[in-house]
Amino acid sequence: MAPALSNFLRVIRAPLAAILLTLALGFLLVASITDEPVRAYRDLLLANFDSLGNFALFLNRATPLTLIALGVVFSFRAGVFNVGGEGQLYAGAVTTTVVAIAGASLPALVLMPLAIIAGFLAGAVVGWIPGVLKVRLAVDEVVTTLMLNIIILLITSWLANQVIRDTTAYGAVSWMVPNSIWLPPLPFVPRATSGFLVAAVLAVVSWIVLFRTQWGAEVRAAGTNLRFAEATGVPAARRVISAMVIAGGLAGLAGALYVLGVGHRFEQNFSPSYGLVGLTCALLARVHPIGSLATALFYAAMLNGAAYMQISTDVPRSLVNLLTGLLVLLMTARLRRAAQAA
Amino acid sequence: MPTSKRAPESVLMSDPDIILSLAGIAKSFGEKAALGHVDLDVRRGEVHVICGENGAGKSTLMNILAGIHQPNAGSIVLNGKTVTIADPIAASRLGIGMVHQHFTLVPSMTVAENLFLGRQPRRLGIFSDRRQMADRARELIARYNFHLDPEAPVRTLSVGQRQRVEILKALAFDADLLILDEPTAVLTPPEVDELIGVVDGLRARGRTILFITHKLREVKAVSDRVTVIRRGRSISTRNTADVTEADIGRDMVGREVFLVGRKGSAQRSFGAPVLTLDNVSMTNHSGRRLLERISLEVRAGEVLGIAGVDGNGQTELAEAIAGLMPVQAGKIRFGDRDLTDADLRERQQAGLGFVPEDRLDRGLSVTMSVAENVAATNYKRAGLLSGGLIDRHKLDSFAGDKIREFDVRGAQPSTQAGWLSGGNMQKLVIARELERDPSLLLICQPTRGLDIGASEFVHARILQAADRGRAVLLISSELSEIFALSDRIGVMYSGRMMRILDRAEADEETVGYLMNGGSKEAA
Amino acid sequence: MNLTSLLAAVLEQSTPILLAALAAMITLRANILNVAVEGMMLAAAFAAVAVGDWSGSAWPAFLSALVVAVVLSQLLALLTLRFFADFIVAGLGINLLAAGGTLFILERYYNSPGGLRPIAFPDIWHIPAGSLSWLPVLGPAFEGQSVIVLIALVAVPLTYVFLYKTPLGASLRAAGEDEHAARSAGIRIAAMKALSLAISGLLAGLAGAQLAMDKLHFFLPDMTSGRGFIGLAATLFGGGQPWMTAAASFLFGFFGALGDRLQVFAIPSQFVLMLPYVAAIIGLTFARWRILVRNRPARIRDNPQ
Could you tell me if residue A293 is inside a domain?
Answer: yes
Least-confidence region, from A136-150, B268-282, C248-262:
C248-262
Structural domains of chain B sorted by starting position, each given as residue range(s) with its CATH number in brackets: 258-351+436-523 (3.40.50.300), 371-435 (no CATH)
List chain A residues with CB under 8 Å of C271. Answer: 154, 158
- Complex ipTM > 0.90: no
In this predicted structure, the answer to whether residue A337 has a pLDDT above a threshold of 60 is no
> What is the reported pLDDT for B267?
57
Could you tell me if residue A339 is inside a domain?
Answer: no
Contact C129, C139 (CB under 8 A): no
Give B466 to chain C, closest Cα distance, Å: 33
| Interatomic CA distance for residues B397 and B379, integer angstroms | 13
Contact C294, B287 (CB under 8 A): no
Which of B127, B290, B341 is facing C301, going by the closest CB pair? B341
Which of B113, B117, B290 is facing C297, going by the closest CB pair? B290
Contact state of A224 with B354 under an 8 Å Cβ cutoff = no
For residue A241, give the CATH number of its domain: 1.10.3470
Could you tell me if residue A5 is inside a domain?
Answer: no
Could you tell me if residue A340 is inside a domain?
Answer: no
Residue in chain C closest to B284 (alpha carbons) equals C297
Eight-class DSSP state of C128:
P
> What is the reported pLDDT for B2?
44
List chain C residues with CB under 8 Å of B106. Answer: 173-174, 177-178, 181-182
Q: A touches which chains (3+ CB pairs under 8 A)? A: B, C
Residue in chain A closest to B367 (alpha carbons) equals A224
pLDDT band at residue C263 under the 50/70/90 scheme? low
> What is the reported pLDDT for A335?
67
- Phi/psi of residue B304, each to 5°? -100, 115
Give A182 to chain C, closest Cα distance, Å: 30
Contact state of C185 with B119 under an 8 Å Cβ cutoff = yes
Could you tell me if residue A129 is inside a domain?
Answer: yes
In this predicted structure, the answer to whether residue A107 has a pLDDT above a threshold of 90 is yes
What length does chain B have?
Answer: 523
pLDDT band at residue A339 under the 50/70/90 scheme? very low
Contact state of A221 with B368 under an 8 Å Cβ cutoff = yes
Interface of B with A in 366-385 (CB under 8 A): 366-368, 372, 375-377, 379-380, 385
Could you tell me if residue A270 is inside a domain?
Answer: yes
Low-confidence ranges of chain B (pLDDT < 50): 1-12, 257-260, 265, 520-523
Contact state of B368 with A232 under an 8 Å Cβ cutoff = no
> What is the reported pLDDT for B188?
66
> What is the reported pLDDT for A338?
38
Give B326 to chain C, closest Cα distance, Å: 6
Contact state of C186 with B89 under an 8 Å Cβ cutoff = yes
Domain count, chain A: 1
> What is the reported pLDDT for B339?
94
Residue in chain C closest to B121 (alpha carbons) equals C167
Enter the pTM of the model: 0.85
Contact state of C166 with B127 under an 8 Å Cβ cutoff = yes
| Residue-wise pLDDT tens digits, A200-253 | 999 999 999 999 999 999 999 999 999 999 999 999 999 999 999 999 999 999
Which of B103, B108, B283 is facing C298, going by the closest CB pair? B283
| Residue-wise pLDDT tens digits, A28-87 | 988 988 888 899 999 988 999 999 999 999 999 999 999 999 999 999 999 999 999 999
| Residue-wise pLDDT tens digits, C21-53 | 999 999 999 999 999 999 999 999 999 999 999
List chain C residues with CB under 8 Å of B112. Answer: none
Tell me the CA distances in angstroms from B115 to B187, C167, C177, one per residue in order. 21, 13, 16
List chain C residues with CB under 8 Å of A81. Answer: 88
> What is the reported pLDDT for A13?
79
Domain region containing A279: 11-329
| Interatomic CA distance for residues A162 and A171, integer angstroms | 12
Interface of B with A in 388-447 (CB under 8 A): 388-390, 392, 432
Give B200 to chain C, closest Cα distance, Å: 26
Contact A141, A134 (CB under 8 A): yes
| Residue-wise pLDDT tens digits, C124-174 | 888 888 888 888 878 888 888 999 999 999 999 999 999 999 999 999 999
Residues of chain B by 3-state class (helix, strand, coil), percent to 5: 35, 25, 40
Contact state of B285 with C298 under an 8 Å Cβ cutoff = yes
* Residue (of B65, B162, B180) closest to B115 by Cα position: B162
Residue type at position A109? L
| Interatomic CA distance for residues B467 and B482, integer angstroms | 17
| Residue-wise pLDDT tens digits, A147-203 | 999 999 999 999 999 889 888 888 889 999 998 999 999 888 888 899 999 999 999
Could you tell me if residue A1 is inside a domain?
Answer: no
